[in-house]
Chain A
Amino acid sequence: MIKYALRRVLLTIPTLFAIVTIVFLVVRVIPGDPAVAALGDYASKQAVDALREKMGLNDPLGVQYLRFLGDLVRGDLGKSMITGQPVREQVLYVLPYSLELAVFAVVVGMAFGIPLGVYTAVKRNAAVDHLGRVFSLTGLSVPAFYLGILMMLLFAIKLRVLPATGGGDLGDWEDNLRHLILPGVTLGLIMTASVTRLTRSAMLNVLNEDYIRTARSKGLAQRVVIFRHALRSALVPVLSVIGIWIIGVIGSSVTTEMVFVRPGLGKMLVGAILQRDYTTLQSIMVVYATMVAGVNLLTDITYGLADPRVRY
């Protein structure tokens, strides 16, 4: 198992390297001058030249690439093209907000999705099952930011039980949690839809297996058959795609952070895009890529633990 885990870790390095290279190239290769884009079409030639020199845009592409890589290895995310502030500090400030949001959403998604999937599979073709199907297809169709707005309208504006905007004080856990619930449940509900759908179909597959019939014919209680025999193997395919859902949550968190005006990586990214701050944009994409690679690595390792066959 340790050997398998180590191999996975080593395989992550070339993937990360490739993604960093793609991000670098996409920002550089597309025609147009990032300095002009940042300063606007009416900037003086001197100002553009000064910014190009400061950002090192006059150096050959290879030199820029190596410098970018070297900085990253040392944990330096560069400076913002607009404000000149180091990107790293800002990222470190907002990262906890984004991480707690993602973790909260994933917990909600699994906590509701798995039981719901099991229940609808056991009650196949009953009214509950059809209702579950409508729920999960709607969940797959509603954009996160819209669900967020509806939640905000109901719980923050109409009922006034939770704050509408902001991220709360990280030091004060109660305040922090109150600000986390609405965006977290929004993302969590959307994830619940996918988890329910997959758990249901995985359970249906397993429930047709011979060993389930054997377990039933032995006279085991329904509860034991469902949870001890069926759910255990049904969870393996669920685990194998959990990474894809977490990555989906990370993607949807961008618009959700905007709706709830929550500090976070997503809101920072949108700010960088609207200000045409290409250095910040590039660094945030690298941070996201690292998060995605980390999620994939964790999924692979958990999957290896759950299903020994994939280790070889």
Chain B
Amino acid sequence: MKSANPVAEPIQLRSQRQRQWHTFVRNKTALLGLVVAVLIIIVAVFADDWFIALLQDRDARPLFALFEPFKQDTFNRLQAPDSVHLMGLDDYGRDILSRIVHGGRVSLIVGICATLLGGIIGTTMGVVAGYMGGTVENVIMRVVDALMAFPGLLMGMMILAVMQRLPGSGLTKAIIGIGIIMTSGFARVVHATALTVKGREFVTSALSIGAGTSRIMRLHILPNILGEVVVLVSLQTAQAIRIEASLSFIGLGVSPPTPTWGNMIKDGMQHITYAPWLSVFSGLAIVLTVLSFNLLGDGLRDVLDPRLQE
């Protein structure tokens, strides 16, 4: 029997990071989510050679997107998918695949920037509310409640509708509008976690040696909720991309001729009976992207839940 052996078995030591990475890699669906999300980002970023074009001061040439997204071929409009135009041509004769790749830029920029904006504001609100307590907590959490009173999409519609009056690009408005919606989700979760961290010994110990409120929040509370925030960033990016698609389907946010997945579907609806490829492929792009971020977030949550680790 091994336990009778006087010399202890060498224990394989693993750091927390290694264990977490191990759990993540074993989760095949999460890994798939990560790979697909990274691929989508790479294809969208390198849709054309804008980085070389910028240096050489010329127009960008197509790279991953095989054709130019605005180039019209009106003789072949509504052409069905074939070996050259894999997803067909739209009603102006523009290559749909290339427009989807370029539309991905908009979706990803809006999705990621809005999540970061909402994440930074929401996390700050949550930490401050959770740690400070009292009136500050009450005021912040009532604002969060009010933001959550409407479904995200309706809230986004109202904010963007009112922002129609303001100058500025549709892209910025979409980021701000969706960013505001994202705020409440972060604030609520972070607030709950901050409350549990607040009572831990290391916070009391920091207090006892005279650390200030801001120092405790930055150096003691924040690092301990970061895991939770990372999971949220992934899941909320998925939500933000979905909301952006819905808003641009309605006709709010980034406006044509800039392609977005939502406005491509909307434009395709006029020809849905005889040319469904106009709408179907951009929808697939949305589902694939949102699904990959959801899978990634789901997997990350498993990794950060210590009960599931060996």
Measured CB to CB, the residues of A under 8 A from B are 15, 18-19, 22-23, 26-27, 30-34, 37, 133, 137-138, 140-146, 149-150, 152-153, 157, 247-248, 250-252, 254-255, 258-259, 269-270, 273-274, 276, 278, 281, 285, 288-289, 292-293
Are B161 and A251 in touch, CB under 8 angstroms?
no
Which residues of A sit under 8 angstroms from B295, Cβ to Cβ?
137
With both chains docked as a complex, state the minimum distance between the C-beta of B180 and any C-beta of chain A, in angstroms.
11
With both chains docked as a complex, state the minimum distance between the C-beta of B98 and any C-beta of chain A, in angstroms.
20
Are B158 and A157 in touch, CB under 8 angstroms?
no
Instruction: Please tell me if B159 contacts chain A, counting CB pairs below 8 Å.
Output: yes
Instruction: Please tell me if B280 contacts chain A, counting CB pairs below 8 Å.
Output: yes
Q: A18-B146, A27-B162 are in contact. Are A252 and B250 (CB under 8 A)?
A: no
Which residues of A sit under 8 angstroms from B290, Cβ to Cβ?
141-143
Are B151 and A255 in touch, CB under 8 angstroms?
no
Are A30 and B165 in touch, CB under 8 angstroms?
yes
Which residues of A sit under 8 angstroms from B154, Cβ to Cβ?
250-251, 254, 269, 285, 288
Tell me the complex Cα distance, A247–B286, Å: 22
Which residues of B sit under 8 angstroms from A146, Cβ to Cβ?
245, 265, 283, 286-287
Which residues of A sit under 8 angstroms from B116, Cβ to Cβ?
none
Q: List 26 A-B residue pairs with CB atoms under 8 Å apart, sorted by A's residue number.
A: A18-B149, A26-B158, A31-B166, A32-B165, A33-B165, A34-B165, A141-B290, A145-B265, A149-B265, A149-B279, A149-B280, A157-B272, A157-B273, A157-B276, A251-B151, A251-B152, A254-B157, A255-B246, A259-B269, A269-B157, A273-B157, A273-B161, A276-B161, A278-B162, A285-B150, A289-B149
Tell me the complex Cα distance, A133–B295, Å: 10
Interface size on B, residues (CB 8 A): 42
Instruction: Please tell me if B203 contacts chain A, counting CB pairs below 8 Å.
Output: no
| CB < 8 Å neighbour of B287 from A141, A276, A292 | A141
Which residues of B sit under 8 angstroms from A292, Cβ to Cβ?
149-151
Interface of A is mostly: helix
Which residues of B sit under 8 angstroms from A149, Cβ to Cβ?
265, 269, 272, 279-280, 283
Q: In residues 136-168 of chain B, which contact A (Cβ within 8 Å)?
A: 142, 145-146, 149-154, 157-159, 161-166
Are B162 and A153 in touch, CB under 8 angstroms?
no
Chain B: which residue is nearest A255 at the CB level? B246
Q: A288-B154, A289-B149 are in contact. Are A140 and B294 (CB under 8 A)?
A: yes
Which residues of B sit under 8 angstroms from A276, Cβ to Cβ?
161, 164
Q: Which of B29, B145, B158, B295 has the most CB of A within 10 A?
A: B158
Q: A141-B242, A146-B265, A258-B250 are in contact. Are A285 and B158 (CB under 8 A)?
A: yes
Tell me the complex Cα distance, A142–B246, Å: 11
Instruction: Please tell me if B46 contacts chain A, counting CB pairs below 8 Å.
Output: no
Chain A: which residue is nearest B273 at the CB level? A157
Which residues of A sit under 8 angstroms from B157, Cβ to Cβ?
254, 269-270, 273
